[in-house]
Structure 1
């Protein structure tokens, strides 16, 4: 599968990703991805049935940067904080170019003056490419378990 050093880098990729989105460091978020990438947030029902409809779907790093611009400059919403709890990734396949892994996640949301709530729970299904700059997501599919989600999915999962 993976050697110890590469697995440690994989763990760091998952931990650093969660830290960046939890700390609202939005300009760093696209840098976790390759130039030609896919990022989707999709309900489990659609994923299990092979249906392509996703709640969010971006097909390049440029689209991720556009989302960052939209989140920070044009979308008006009640402010909230996110906190990710990410399970240890399970590696399903690895070769000298790519790693295929999955990890469970739970995202908690806290609005000012409100109690924290469970916002989104599911699993990441990832294809990670080995690049000269380190490990980067070539594809990140966030499959959430509930058929219903809050209508304020603004920030990345």
Structure 2
């Protein structure tokens, strides 16, 4: 799915009054809590290394991309990871878990400052959340910043009121990714 087919989430802070009104709306509070709860579980699954569960956070036609801020700002969808559909995500997770060879590593995902950009009548939530990814490798046992940036997400409300990701674009600000990006952000 190209970036052109995705609605931009880069709205809201240009109009501070509108952003504050959305932030203090009770529906935004409920949505923010739901998104933060979702992201807490998402991070725990990735931090625990449960890669085969990662695709279950997405809709069947979900979209996932890890792209540099520079590419994103220039409308270039080419990223470090690009997955269209849950099946592509399952293939990636299986390949990493079963066939890829890389040094042992531990990751810690931190997601904060969630901002609800929009909620439509169907319950679709557009949100933006900052993230930091810390990585520990044998050669860097003290840990280091692996990546920092923001997530631009589109969540779809399911029949049981749970959320699934329709789209997650991880836009990293980090100018240098120190090691190969192996695992999802």
Do these two structures clear the TM 0.5 threshold for a shared fold by scoring above it? yes
Please state how far the C-alpha of 1:4 moved relative to its aligned partner.
Answer: 4.5
1:122 aligns with 2:139: no
In 1, distance between residues paired with 2:90 and 2:53? 10
Q: 1:58 maps to what in 2?
A: 83
In 1, distance between residues paired with 2:31 and 2:180? 36
In 2, distance between residues paired with 1:90 and 1:47? 19
Query: Could you list the runs of 5+ residues in structure 1 that have no partner in the other structure?
Result: none
Please state how far the C-alpha of 1:151 moved relative to its aligned partner.
Answer: 4.0
Counting only pairs closer than 5 Å after superposition, residues 73-152 of structure 1 correspond to structure 2 as 73-95=98-120, 96-112=122-138, 114-133=141-160, 134-152=162-180
Counting only pairs closer than 5 Å after superposition, residues 1-40 of structure 1 correspond to structure 2 as 1=25, 2=27, 4-40=29-65
Structure 1's 52 and 7: CA in aligned 2 closer, same or farther, altered over 3 A? Answer: closer
Please state how far the C-alpha of 1:146 moved relative to its aligned partner.
Answer: 2.2
TM-score w.r.t. structure 2 length?
0.80
In 1, distance between residues paired with 2:102 and 2:143? 17
How many positions carry a matched residue from both structures?
Answer: 157
In 2, distance between residues paired with 1:41 and 1:93? 22
Conservation of the 8 A alpha-carbon contact between 2:28 and 2:116: no
The alignment's C-alpha RMSD in Å is 1.5
With CA pairs under 8 Å and 6+ residues apart, which has the higher RCO, 1 or 2?
1
TM-score w.r.t. structure 1 length?
0.93
Of 67, 72, 92, 1:67 maps to 92
Misfit runs of 4+, over 6 Å: none
In 1, distance between residues paired with 2:31 and 2:112? 17
